[in-house]
Amino acid sequence: MSENIVTLTDQDFTTRIQGAELPVIVDFWASWCGPCRMMAPVIEEIAQDYAGRMLVGKVNVDENRQTAASFGITSIPTLVLFKDGKEVTRFMGFRPKEEILRVFSEHLA
């Protein structure tokens, strides 16, 4: 995983998201999920391309069930964009990089 991607857990999720000065894209995923594995290189590219303009975090739903449940994550991968600590948009399933950026672009710094 890229140095530009932060692993988020049940213990630090709220603190890290609410304290973030930049928009944060969070990838809710699991190691057994095929579409999640397909999405991983896309997330890596976005983290590198937008370093300094947004943060990218990953939440393993199997290891962090409390956080996944609190956001109603019922399907993975799910990408959620947070700005000023609040969810502003989300989508589920594999998406190409261009579509992710088109959806999130209005919220990026």
How far is 82 from 8, CA to CA, in rounded Å?
Answer: 14
Domain at 5-107: CATH architecture: 3-Layer(aba) Sandwich (3.40)
pTM of the model: 0.93
- Residue closest to 31 by CA, chosen among 57, 2, 58: 58
Q: Enumerate the domain spans of the chain.
A: 5-107
Q: Give every CB contact of residue 16 below 8 A, 6+ residues apart in sequence.
A: 6, 8, 24, 57
Active site residues: 33, 36
pLDDT in tens, 13-61: 999 999 899 999 999 999 999 999 999 999 999 999 999 888 999 999 9
